[in-house]
């Protein structure tokens, strides 16, 4: 290691500032991604063409995972640089500059802490939004499934009622036919009985007439 070499310290500071700049840009993009994720879900619920998401939720999910890994890697690198800077401040050859170095080191540590806090906060918010939206999506899907099922059941009920009414009409038609046939048969029976009765009465009158003639003779 370069020990008391001031160039070594400056190299570490440059590495720290470069990593901090990259983290700053990544965290801004990461925050925008989380915001757009929430907005896209709100737009989808509102069914408005003005709020149609530019990226699908699956694409945003993949971007979230990718950016999370990248930011975690940058934080780990910055932590490593800060550790090297802390190690350098303990080098005996730079004790005269220790106060100034410690001040600089503390500033980089504060930046690292702020970025780490911001990353975990944004990540937690994103995951909370995704979990909530997934739950709401599941509820909406259940509602749509129920409505769809109700529609099928209503159509089935309508078909059943129509079939039932058709059967009732068929039964009434059969009953009317049977009653008509019974009336026809009854009329036929009555007509036959009337003819037989009239024939019997005529025969009786004929017999009585013959008897009367025989008595007079």
> How much is the pLDDT for 40?
56
pTM: 0.57
CA distances from residue 104 to 19, 84, 89, 91, 196 in whole angstroms, order as listed: 15, 13, 10, 16, 137
> How much is the pLDDT for 52?
44
Return contacts of 148-155, CB within 8 angstroms, 24+ apart: none
Instruction: Indicate the helix (H) or strand (E) that contains 152.
Output: helix 98-216
66 pLDDT higher than 70: yes
> How much is the pLDDT for 59?
84
The per-residue b/e assignment along 51-89, b for 16 or more CB within 10 angstroms, e otherwise, is eebeeebeebeebbeebbeebeebbebbeebbebbbebb
Tens of pLDDT along 32-43?
Answer: 988 887 555 554
Residue 53's SS3 state is: coil
Measure the CA–CA gap between 8 and 15, rounded to whole angstroms.
Answer: 11
Domain spans of the chain? Answer: 14-35+59-157
């Amino acid at each position: 290691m370069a020990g008391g070499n001031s160039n070594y310290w400056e190299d570490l500071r440059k590495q720290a500032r470069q990593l901090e700049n990259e983290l700053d840009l990544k965290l801004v993009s990461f925050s925008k991604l989380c915001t757009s994720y929430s907005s896209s879900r709100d737009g989808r619920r509102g069914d408005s063409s003005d709020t149609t998401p530019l990226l699908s939720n699956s694409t945003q999910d993949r971007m979230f995972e990718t950016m999370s890994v990248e930011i975690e890697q940058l934080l780990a690198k910055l932590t490593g640089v800060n550790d090297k800077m802390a190690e350098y401040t303990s080098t005996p050859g730079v004790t005269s500059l220790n106060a100034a170095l410690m001040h600089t080191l503390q500033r980089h540590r504060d930046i690292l802490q702020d970025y780490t806090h911001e990353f975990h906060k944004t990540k937690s918010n994103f995951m909370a939004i995704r979990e909530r939206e997934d739950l709401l999506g599941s509820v909406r899907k259940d509602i749509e499934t129920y409505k769809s099922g109700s529609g099928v059941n209503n159509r089935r009920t309508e078909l059943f009622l129509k079939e039932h009414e058709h059967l009732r009409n068929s039964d009434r038609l059969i009953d009317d036919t049977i009653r008509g046939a019974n009336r026809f048969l009854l009329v036929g029976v009555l007509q036959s009985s009337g003819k037989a009765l009239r024939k019997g009465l005529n025969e009786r009158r004929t017999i009585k007439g013959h008897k009367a003639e025989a008595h007079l003779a």
